[in-house]
Amino acid sequence: MLPYSVHEQLFPLEIGSNFKTIRFFYCTIYTMLVLTVLSLACLSLGVLSAPLVERVSSSLNQFALQKVLSDASPIFGPYSKNTTDTAEWMKKYPDSTLLVHMNLPGTHETATWNYSLATQQSLSGITALDGGEPVYAPEVFRCQDLPIIAMLNAGIRVFDMRFAFDITNTTLVFWHSQALQSQTATVEDVLFGFYHWLDDHPCETILLSFQYEGSTTAYASNNADVQLAIFNTLTSPVAKKYFLQTQNEFGTLGQARGKITLLRRFNLDQLPASYSAAIPGIYFSPSLWSDNDPDISLTYNTAQNLTAYIEDFYEVDLPSGTPASVAIDAKYNATTAHLTKAATQYPDSLFWSFASAEGVSNVPPETPEIMAVGNGTLTPNGGVNQRLVRFLEGLKGKRVGIVMFDYFEIPGNLVEVFLGL
């Protein structure tokens, strides 16, 4: 309320019997003005605060994403955006291209890139708790040298991911047999790395092969709990946004851009049938995927009679003392026979070849690295990878399908030659 002297100047007649009435009238007008000003101020604040709230929310989302990516880094690697030609090589293909007509480079045992003696020793206190300590040296389990983010940026588009519960039987993590790859990087954390990469590269598509890994710990089991955990992870709201929701058929590149195709190499047989009916992707029944076989025919869609042709000859079992070069020959011959089949037969079917192998029963053992890239003077022609470069150069213009490599970056032109077919 204004001071009395001001009232006296504004309303000289109010001094007297009508003072109270006039003063009430004036106060009412003044209060209305104040309320109007306050209302306008609140409205203005509301308008101005909306972007502020959005900025705060966006900032929190970024912090949360960075936290997840940091947790994923022991498997996914430190995230970095890359827009080189190999990071976006699918741009040059029209949307109408069928995925089964494409040449898609992949990595076998993708998550093992960081598995060294230091990793094995740092995790030994955990794996020893459940009687699951590795019985082999780390080089027997390791199949890659570069993290997933480097693979993606180098042009790799198919990833072999082996999961199981951690030793607490509560959290899905990555294993290679008894070799725990990380206790902190969960399956879901790593998936967020793939999601973020696709946001940065919407012209690309990714195929993720998920397989339950047995023989991890003494008490591990592919039971209903682990099956429900992987189902929930792959059907969560965020997963539904990024995974193609089709079942048992490959579509076009246009349909798959910015998305993930699940290659499901695991059962949900401990859950009601409704779970298998609800999960997307292509189901490769483990019972139909014959072990260590160079020529598998697996029907994944009986209604449409869709068959995948697979080479997965991974264990070269030769007499003790056999030179590594002989084991490499055997694997190379199996892989090239299948690639020739892919280039000449069943043009509308999926072909999936594994160029990876090992010979750990040999003395000395042929590790995945020796099989892939050789071991110097004892393998004068190199490993499978070096020999495949020369073979692939002779298949220019041909479809070979999916090919999974160990140590894909050696030799340096392997992926370049493959993508140039």
**Identity of residue 110:** T
332 token code pair: 């190379």
pLDDT given at position 29: 52
DSSP letters along 87-153, please? GGGGGGS-TT-BGGGS-EEEETTGGGGG--HHHHHHHHHHHGGGT---SS-HHHH---SS-HHHHHH
Degrees, nearest 5: CA angle 191-195-197: 115
The Cα–Cα gap between 322 and 317 comes to 10
Phi first, then psi, for residue 142 (nearest 5°) are -80, 130
Radius of gyration of the chain (CA): 31
Nearest to 166 by CA among 177, 176, 174, 154: 174
Helices (H), 165-236: 187-200, 224-234
Local structure of 154: helix, strand or coil = helix
Nearest to 415 by CA among 136, 89, 154: 154
Evaluate whether 282 touches 263 at the Cβ level (below 8 Å): yes
398 burial type by CB count under 10 A (0-12 exposed, 13-18 middle, 19+ buried): middle
The Cα–Cα gap between 278 and 275 comes to 5
142-184 pLDDT per residue, tens? 999 999 999 999 999 999 999 999 999 999 999 999 999 999 9
Rounded to the nearest 5 percent, the helix, strand and coil shares of the chain are: 45, 15, 40
Q: How many CA atoms lie within 13 A of 119 on its CB side?
A: 21
pLDDT given at position 129: 87
pLDDT given at position 370: 97
Averages of pLDDT over each 10 residues, the chain, 421 residues:
39 40 46 49 47 72 94 97 95 98 98 96 89 82 98 98 96 96 97 98 98 92 97 98 98 98 98 98 98 98 98 93 94 98 98 95 90 92 97 97 98 98 97
User: What distances in angstroms separate CA 368 from CA 215, 226, 337, 349, one per listed residue?
Assistant: 19, 29, 20, 29
Evaluate whether 127 touches 180 at the Cβ level (below 8 Å): yes
Which secondary-structure segment (H or E) carries 319?
none
pLDDT given at position 58: 83
pLDDT given at position 335: 98
pLDDT given at position 278: 98
Evaluate whether 209 touches 230 at the Cβ level (below 8 Å): no
